[in-house]
Structure 1
Amino acid sequence: MEERLQAVTTPVLLESSAAGFSPWGSILRAIPEAAGDVPALLALAVEAGETWPRPGEGRTSLLFELLASVAAIDVAAARVFEPHLDAIAILSQAARTDTADQPAAAGSAGGTSWGVFAAEAPGARLNARPEGAAAVLDGAKPWCSLAAGLDRAVVTAHTDDGGRAAFAVDLRHPGVRCEEPAWVARGLREIPSGTVHFDHVPALPLGGTGWYHSRPGFAWGGMGVAACWLGGAVGAARDFRAGLLAGADAGREPDQVALAALGEVDRILAAAMQYLARTATHIDDGSLAAAGQSTWSEAQRVRGTVAAAVERVLQLVLSNRGPGPLAFDERYAKRMADLGLYVRQHHGARDDAQLGRLTLKGDCPW
């Protein structure tokens, strides 16, 4: 049992050594037992938020490794960790850490859980108007994952000047109402996303109009999501390799087709991991901006490259493992469903079109 747990919680290393990763191992070892238990995962995410690095502060590669390692264990766990860690980073970037020091309305000694709600959708609009040194939020915000189980959130809202700004808000305020999500997805079943309604809810401004989307941290956060996708693909690849080894132990040696698929999975993952590691280094040393590229164009390259890698790994693993594990291996079936949905956060050709516009203007490395 201990050997299996160690294999499941093996970290995804971009640059670190396995020995250097040991200070971060206790949370990873706790995830398999907590998988599927959202309050337990939130507690672990809050614990991680106290010590795990923030992007752009010198250890971005380690942050990406940690996010990928969580996703390699359980994709839905990463979907809990990533927004909490992103919110903590946003608060730091906005120099508004005082919002994190306020007592959680429904928290424990372990701290306050955070989400980030920045999506837009037709028919749902959240407006902010100033009220003294703070602001008041009214309206609806779509795609708010786990809102009913969180203490606080960073949310974006429309401002009187026609822009959008970010705000820190207490989700336990009586003016906040979380709809019961009509969540029918088979992937990320424990991470439902629904609409949250705000009725005269006080909020603290973070960074001013336009700051949320223009800061480098917006791109860094998008790359953190890509690290989660990549970690999920590593988990799927490990399942594939373990299945081939188990078959060989039972006398069924993998054929050339299976070996070719495993080889392709290996080179795809190796290339994506190297790209993510290199980009993390450029974030920390400032060379990304010095090369004349925008941080967002690089984020789009990273996200698109990782998303394509994940899609291909999913295709290879699914086609080679066949229907049996999907039907009878609960952990594997959950991983594939969770990852298939999570990677849909990449908008495919639309994101490529946005990158193409930047490339046409000369925002490219070639």
Structure 2
Amino acid sequence: MTRLREHSSDLHLSAGPFGGVAAASLDEADRVDAFGTDVAATLAWAVGVGAARGNQRSLADDWSFLAAVASRDVGAARILEPHLDALDILDQAHRDGYDLDLASVQADSESSWGVFAAEGAGTRLEARDDGSGWLLTGTKPWCSLAQHLSHALITAWVGDERRLFAVALQTPEVTPHEGPWHAKGLPQVVSAPVDFAAAPAAPVGESGWYLRRPGFAAGGIGVAACWWGGALPLRDALVDAARRDGADQLSRVHLGRVDAALWAARLALRSAAREMNGLPQASHPATLAARVRAIVADAVETTLAESARALGPLPLVADEAHARRVADLEIYLRQHHGERDLARIGADIAEGRGSW
């Protein structure tokens, strides 16, 4: 693949206060050996990013930065995004007036965070207050990087409702599984179950707050910004192919399809950033987030398919960075649930939510 081009301005909407920090963080990323594949080094960089970015940012700032990181390495974005999401959740809990006892789980500014909220058949994580504090017991599926992270925000059942808790992962009461994880894409980001045996935890918000909080939808769009940024170097490869001597009309057709799809996805991200920042207020943020994720996911699927047709097998077997990017994106995109997510959009519209 050709040298990576700079894409951080492709989504950016304003010269906000995160701009200088973002540029410095990206420069630092370029100096990290095995950025994205060395989990420890990339996590250390991510913790530094979280500590430096401050609170005065727009969604466009955050999503632009995530996209720029993904354009460098999809794995790095996959490592960074949940850490920043966790920090945003904790900040939102503070703003909503909740007292957080993070010291009880030894969390501080040097902590590395994941967000574990998935549910799975046959597994259940329960929380109970034994009078001296909250304890987590059971199994949580799909816990990415649990063997590497110091802490996580994790949903657990309290009766019939889910509540969010902060928990330290590197303790005797917590046992991350090593797999199964046979993925060829994102092999370093192992997402496997974790067993909890009366692990101490600190509540974050009341029951149900995590799912209904302002900002939940924005976090989902942040993942889509990573997908979008990760696809930009594939567009670059198509541009280079269309410029070669002897390039035929079909190479331009493939490029045109990808360009139009990614351009539309960019507009969707920009529109969502404006709307969720209050211009105007999003009346149904969950529907907006689902629409944006569907648009971006389709655009990236189109990019993967068209680049495969246009470029053939050579970069998949001879260009390590290109092959890894394709494999990483294919796994990362599975966080979008395709027709099930579209069905949720349809249900929202049928029930009168999320009108244009």
Q: Same fold (TM over 0.5)?
A: yes
Determine if the alignment matches structure 1 residue 152 to structure 2 residue 142: no
Q: How does 1:263-342 map to 2 (within 5 A)?
A: 263-285=256-278, 287-289=280-282, 293-342=283-332
* Deviations 1:28-60 (CA, angstroms, capped at 9, x unpaired): 234353231101110111111123366xx6511
Counterparts of 1:235 and 1:164 in 2: how far apart (Å)? 39
For the residues of structure 2 that align with 1:101 and 1:243, how far apart are their CA atoms? Answer: 54
User: Matches of 1:230 and 1:182 in 2, distance apart?
Assistant: 28
- Name 1:94's counterpart in structure 2: 93
Structure 1 runs (4+) deviating above 6 angstroms are 17-20
Report the 3-state secondary structure (helix = DSSP H, G, I; strand = E; otherwise coil) of the residue aligned with 1:334. helix
Contact 1:12 1:231 in 2 (8 A): no
Higher helix share: 1
State the alpha-carbon separation in 1 of the partners of residues 319 and 49 from structure 2: 29
Deviation at 1:275, TM superposition (A): 1.3
Where do residues 194-213 of structure 1 align in structure 2 (5 Å cutoff)?
194-213=192-211
User: Which deviations, in whole Å up to 9, do the C-alpha atoms of 1:83-102 show, x marking residues without a partner?
Assistant: 00000011111116855667
Q: Does 1:256 align with 2:249?
A: yes
Query: Aligned pair 1:31/2:32, yes or no?
Result: no
Q: Is the 8 A contact 2:47 2:110 kept in 1?
A: yes
Q: Deviations over 1:306-357 (max 9, x none)?
A: 1111111111111101000000100000000000110111000111111111
Report what 1:174 is aligned to. Answer: 172
- Do 1:239 and 1:332's aligned partners in 2 also have CA atoms closer than 8 Å? no
- The residue number in structure 2 matching 1:117 is 116
Q: Match for 1:323: what amino acid? A: P
Structure 1 distance, partners of 2:158, 2:119, is 14
C-alpha spacing 1:286/1:213, structure 2 compared with 1 (3 Å): farther
CA-based RMSD of the aligned residues comes to 2.3
Alpha-carbon distance between aligned partners in 1 of 2:51 and 2:75, rounded to the nearest angstrom: 21
> Is the Cα–Cα contact under 8 Å of residues 303 and 346 in structure 1 kept in the other structure?
yes
Residues of 1 paired with 2:237 and 2:106: CA distance?
A: 40
Write out aligned runs for 1:339-350 (5 A): 339-350=329-340
**C-alpha displacement at 1:274, in angstroms?**
1.3
> Residue 295 of structure 2 aligns to which amino acid in structure 1?
T
- Secondary structure of 1:190's partner? coil
Instruction: Report % sequence identity.
Output: 41
Unaligned runs of 5+ in 2: none
Relative to structure 1, the CA distance from residue 141 to residue 19 in structure 2 (aligned partners, 3 Å threshold; closer, same or farther) is closer
Q: 1:307 touches 1:343 (CA, 8 Å); kept in 2? A: yes
8 A contact 1:230–1:310 mirrored in 2: yes
Shift of residue 104 of structure 1?
5.1
Amino acid at match of 1:44: W
